[in-house]
Amino acid sequence: MKSHTKPNAATLPVVRVESLTKRYDDHVAVDSLSFEVPTGQVIGLLGPNGAGKTTAMKMIVGLVKPTSGRAELLGVSSDEPAFGHALRRVGSLIESPALYRNLSARQNLQLQAKALGVEATPSLVDELLELVDLADRADDRARSYSLGMKQRLGIAVAMVGKPELIILDEPANGLDPAGIVEIRRLLRRLPEMGTTVLVSSHQLNEVQKAADSLVVLDRGRLIACGTTDEIIGSQTSASFQIRLAPDALSSAIAALSAHGVAAT
């Protein structure tokens, strides 16, 4: 007899992708992709540029219609009437932040709250500004911000509704080392606030320091999936050949050795 007991919502994956495929004419951007995002973790979607990460994320949030397969968000498929309601429990920052450049960080957050029907209390706005380390620039126009500050404000905007899930597309892309550290710190804090994180990156050394598990893509296909330790451990025997100018050889070997990488 089939049980009709509903599973505990806390045990359900916040994202479930099954055989998800997207074709553009003869180009297959995402090819039969399947994975799950468990509640309360930071999951890294890793792959080189053009691997299909952004397309996969757009299908998950309903911005792009799959050619075949399905994506579930908080237990609801994108082709179900209740999908819009599920989306209200999700924050996203895909490609670049949609900010009002001539408004301050505070005003951007207040407008997003109004759009979501959330009361923009001073405590909510201050909490989000503190979260992304912009409290001291709260009343400056967004156009005056550095790239890293704009990315952090974009994350704050995505967090206005206190979502159960946040989806971030390459949030550290183009940032300097200090900016990358800030994003990494922020990613680790979000699960403590009750928000699961799905974040894409093309840099393993960046995402491995923040993610609990990794989903690795190449040319639209899943090539590895597991905990970060499992994925890193499986790559320990990899070797690479790099061509360098003769005068850069000694400094390159020294830099690699300092990070525990054998080089000759």
In terms of Cα–Cα distance, which of 42, 41, 40, 45 is closest to 17?
45
- A 10 A CB-CB count for 102 gives 9
Write the DSSP string, 114-133: HHHT----HHHHHHHHHHTT
User: Residue 215 has what DSSP assignment?
Assistant: E
Alpha-carbon dihedral angle through residues 18, 24, 28, 31, given to the nearest 10 degrees: 0
CA 135, 139, 140: angle at the middle one, nearest 5?
Answer: 105
176 half-sphere exposure, CB direction, 13 A CA radius: 4
What is the separation, in whole angstroms, between the first and last Cα of the chain? 64
Q: What is the pLDDT of residue 179?
A: 87
Q: What is the pLDDT of residue 3?
A: 39
Instruction: For residues 151 and 184, give the distance between their C-alpha atoms in angstroms, rounded to a whole number.
Output: 12
CB neighbours of 236 closer than 8 A, spacing ≥ 6? none
Q: Are 129 and 109 in contact (CB under 8 A)?
A: yes
Q: Are 15 and 36 in contact (CB under 8 A)?
A: yes
Residue type at 144?
A: S
Q: What is the pLDDT of residue 47?
A: 92
Place of tokens 């020294």: 254
Q: What is the pLDDT of residue 1?
A: 39
Q: What is the pLDDT of residue 127?
A: 94
Q: How far is CA 161 from the centre of its chain?
A: 17
Q: Are 124 and 200 in contact (CB under 8 A)?
A: no
Instruction: For residues 63 and 56, give the distance between their C-alpha atoms in angstroms, rounded to a whole number.
Output: 10
User: 124-133 contacts: CB < 8 A, separation 24 or more?
Assistant: 124/160, 128/156, 128/159, 128/160, 129/105, 129/156, 131/156, 131/159, 131/186, 131/189, 131/193, 132/156, 132/186, 133/182
Per-residue pLDDT of the chain (264 residues; tens, 9 = 90+): 333 444 455 568 999 999 999 999 999 999 999 999 999 999 999 999 999 999 999 999 999 999 999 999 999 988 889 999 999 999 999 988 889 999 999 999 999 999 988 888 899 999 999 999 999 999 999 999 999 999 999 999 999 989 999 999 999 888 888 889 999 999 999 999 999 999 999 988 888 899 999 999 999 999 999 999 888 877 655 555 566 667 666 766 666 665 555 666
Q: What is the pLDDT of residues 201-232, one digit of tens each?
A: 998 888 889 999 999 999 999 999 999 988 88
* Structural domains for the chain: 9-238 (3.40.50.300)
Token pair for 246: 């003769």
Q: What is the pLDDT of residues 44-82, one digit of tens each?
A: 999 999 999 999 999 999 999 999 999 999 999 888 899
Q: What is the pLDDT of residue 264?
A: 61
